[in-house]
Amino acid sequence: MSTQVCGVLPRRRYTAISVINGAIDSSAIMLLIFKLCYNSGIPFKTIIIVYYSFVFGHGLLFTFTIFPKNLPDSTNTDIGNGRSNEEDSNSSNCNTGLKTDTDGQLKNEKVFIKSGEGRISLLSIIRGPTFIIHTCFVSISTLRSFIFTGTVNTLLKRLTNDKEKVDFYLTILGLIQFTGIVLAFVPGFLLDWYPAGRHRNFSIILSFVLTGLISILVTVGFLIPVLELQIFNFFLYSLLRTFLYSTHSSFIMKNFPLYHAGALVGFSLLISAVVSLSQIPIFALMDGPYKGDPTW
């Protein structure tokens, strides 16, 4: 679906991807809604039943009603110069084409061709070093994100004994996570930026660097025992998630064949989810030998 939506905005392809990821990230506000409902006395079982009934109902409604049936399919379009893959049926699997950016400048771009026997196999991409390294980066960053979520309540309780303050800061965290759809424009515009004279992957590389830097800043802010500072840290955390998933999807769509984009995004997220299970022994260590200290 992302590749089709991005086909509508070819010059803002990665901004569209970022906004989609930001919208998904903003759904974390449901945790805040759960919290407010539970605090008001609604049983947790009732909350879950109502929530999943709504998800199932509106999912069916939107699937069969609002989605247009004739969105441009960018999987049939050459990323580099917008030509149909049918026109390049006699080309090799991977060619070097000329890319025209929004300023009309031509750039070298790696172009993958979808043409019968020339299709690149999914397995060969998954076994390649580029995809493996990328998946490792995404897995580690996702684990860092989940650990922050799992330890923030413990951290706040160590910084203040006031339960109302802890509840207040958790509410702020929930509200800030809703800003993901707005913050998504930051990595989106960055990823669509093609500065003259730079490597064709300059914007992607810069986005990866910023993702790592923001992750470090979140960790540093987490270690500073100042309660008020955590509000700023919540913004950094939301920005981290936005950069991580926007860069992840954009990198795959930019560097691999679009007809495998969905499978590659899903597989890398599956691997990162499996890696994130290591948070269980990490939390066990925190509650055991480290006596509940989330900063160990």
Q: Average the pLDDT over 16-24 and give the result.
A: 82
Q: What angle do CA 256, 257, 260 make, to 5 degrees?
A: 100
**Structural tokens at position 21:** 């990821």
User: Residues 143-192: pLDDT tens digits?
Assistant: 988 888 888 888 888 888 888 898 899 889 888 888 888 888 888 888 88
* Rounded Cα–Cα distance for residues 267 and 238 (Å): 23
More confident residue, 77 or 158: 158
Over 70: is that where the pLDDT of 60 sits?
Answer: yes
Confidence (pLDDT) at 58: 76
Of 90-94, 250-254, 288-292, which range is least confident? 90-94
DSSP string over 98-115 = EEE-TTS-EEEEEEE---
Over 80: is that where the pLDDT of 279 sits?
Answer: yes
Confidence (pLDDT) at 115: 41
User: Residues 93-147: pLDDT tens digits?
Assistant: 434 333 444 443 334 334 444 444 567 888 889 999 999 999 999 999 999 888 8
Write the CA distances from 252 to 22, 29, 149, 201, integer angstroms: 17, 27, 26, 12
* Mean confidence (pLDDT) of the chain: 78
